[in-house]
């Protein structure tokens, strides 16, 4: 619990800082452009920058505890989902396949550092499959739950829609639009996590070639983060 809390806290805090710096740079660039265009002077731009930094920094860190709680909830949900999939796998696949699925990539890289890139990638693909499947499953559940709550809200307005329209056509169109949106977003999520699995495994294999062990972990995280930033 302590390790996972620290891990989620570090990820959440780094995300807050990264987003803050990105938005700060964008805001300052826009104000600099306004100065060049004569819309505001340099002193006013500096004052606005300082006010933005003060308000945004406090506001973003105010949401930090909530982000950590949500992150911990997701982390442990994914972990429990992984254990469930591992249990199911232990009942339906051979011991050889189960061993591949449960491989510790850090120790495997340390144990056999001189294998080829393709062998390391194959090991990572097998070993990361359950974790990525669990991650995708939890986010699919959150997606469905979010749409369920949205749909329930729409149902509460059904009476108003029936009073506004002479038939159910508009309501049926809304329901069809929601269903289509669910399918599209669910498919996008599945595809993005599949691509992330391949990218993370390739990154882990590349990291193993450079620094077996820690390089494996860093490369896996880098590959996953890269795909996530491109697809989200």
Structure tokens, 86: 């591992």
**Tens digit of each residue's pLDDT (9 = 90 or more) over 143-191:** 888 888 877 777 677 666 665 655 555 555 555 667 778 888 889 889 9
pTM for the model: 0.70
Over 145-170, what HEC string results? Answer: HHHHHHHHHHHHCHHHHHHHCCCCHH
Least confident stretch, 51-60, 122-131, 148-157, 190-199: 148-157
The percentage of residues in the chain with a pLDDT greater than 90, rounded to a whole number, is 28
What does the pLDDT average to over 120-139?
93
């Amino acid at each position: 619990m302590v390790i996972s809390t620290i891990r989620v806290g570090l990820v959440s805090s780094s995300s807050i800082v990264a987003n803050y710096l990105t938005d700060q740079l964008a805001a300052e660039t826009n104000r600099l452009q306004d100065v060049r265009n004569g819309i505001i002077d340099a002193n006013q731009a500096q004052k606005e920058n300082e006010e933005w930094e003060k308000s945004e920094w406090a506001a973003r860190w105010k949401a930090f505890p909530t982000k950590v709680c949500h992150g911990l909830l997701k982390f442990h949900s994914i972990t429990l989902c992984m254990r469930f999939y591992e249990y199911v796998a232990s009942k339906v696949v051979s011991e050889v396949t189960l061993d591949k699925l449960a491989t510790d990539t850090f120790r495997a890289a340390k144990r056999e550092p001189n294998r080829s890139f393709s062998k390391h990638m194959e090991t990572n693909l097998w070993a990361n499959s359950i974790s990525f499947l669990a991650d995708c499953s939890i986010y699919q559940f959150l997606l469905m739950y979010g749409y369920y709550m949205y749909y329930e809200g729409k149902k509460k307005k059904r009476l108003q829609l029936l009073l506004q329209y002479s038939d159910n056509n508009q309501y049926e169109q809304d329901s069809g639009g929601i269903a289509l949106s669910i399918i599209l977003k669910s498919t996008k999520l599945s595809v993005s996590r599949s691509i992330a699995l391949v990218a993370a495994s390739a990154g882990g294999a590349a990291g193993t070639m450079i620094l077996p062990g820690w390089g494996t972990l860093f490369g896996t995280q880098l590959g996953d983060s890269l795909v996530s930033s491109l697809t989200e």
